[in-house]
Structure 1
């Protein structure tokens, strides 16, 4: 994606040719090129959506707990996992 953005910004290719050559969606490429104030690396690395409710460490602890309970043949339902995450 970064090379496609650079090719369009440097006027080496148009949107359609760059999207076909680098195998990226044309509409996404157009959106990324419109962010002219940011570099291609910054545009691509920007995270979209909500922020996670749990930190990575807490999430991994919950995952390991679920796997351990599954190995002990004590399956957890999705509502049980949500309850654990809330606690």
Structure 2
């Protein structure tokens, strides 16, 4: 009963009113779009151990790979079948 009497007293009412006013004066800050989403991880690619040599190129670099899958996985573009000369 003392709790209700304290709320309905002038001092209690002023505190309650001030609390309500402060709660209504909240500010929302927009910090932009937020962190950028991470790009999806590439699926792991497994290459067979089958030996079918290919000559592949990346920039000015030519290299022989055991198969086309390994060349592609390393970021090379296949130039022709067979080893590089």
Shorter-chain TM-score above 0.5: no
Q: What TM-score do the two structures reach when normalised by structure 1? A: 0.20
Structure with greater strand percent: 2
Q: What TM-score do the two structures reach when normalised by structure 2? A: 0.20
Larger radius of gyration: 2
